[in-house]
Structure 1
Amino acid sequence: MQFESLFVMLIVGILAGWLFGRIMAGRGFGLIGNIIVGIVGAFLAGLIFPALGFAVGGGFITSVIHATIGAVILLFLIGLVRKA
């Protein structure tokens, strides 16, 4: 992975974390926690979506949407672990 793609993924993750905080109001982890969940969600989406056959390409907005979906999936998994 090149530095530019890592940097872009971090920026996308930060935006996705902020968007995630707006979508899941009341269920997040605060501003910093949501940003971290967004970054991890971006990496998660970068791994899962290509394996499932979804093309992550298509521009910056598509990447933010995919990273937000990854963050929501991550929150769902964290919720399952907390309940256990």
Structure 2
Amino acid sequence: MSCFKIIFILTNFFLVITSSIVNAKEPKQVTVATVDNHIITAQDVLNATNRLPKKIKEKPLSEIYPNIVNELINQHLITKQAYKDKLDKQKEI
């Protein structure tokens, strides 16, 4: 194999590797769900995961991830409805 081909292959290899590193995003920049223009990020999922009991946190993220995302969506919808119903203005609550 010629020296030119080796240099070409190595250059392309390093370009592919570095481009994937450059394209990696911080968890707060990764959108996992959007509900009524409210963005739920990967950082939100990580924060929720950190609040879970130890026994649940030990499970693989792939197993608990969908439940966490659904819970964050539900929390947003419940909070939105509570404000719509003006529950924050009621003294009894």
User: TM-score normalised to the size of structure 2?
Assistant: 0.41
Which has the larger strand fraction?
A: 2
TM-score normalised to structure 1 length = 0.44
* Larger radius of gyration between Structure 1 and Structure 2: 2
Higher RCO by CA contacts (8 Å cutoff, separation 6 or greater): 1
Identify, as 1 or 2, the structure richer in helix.
1
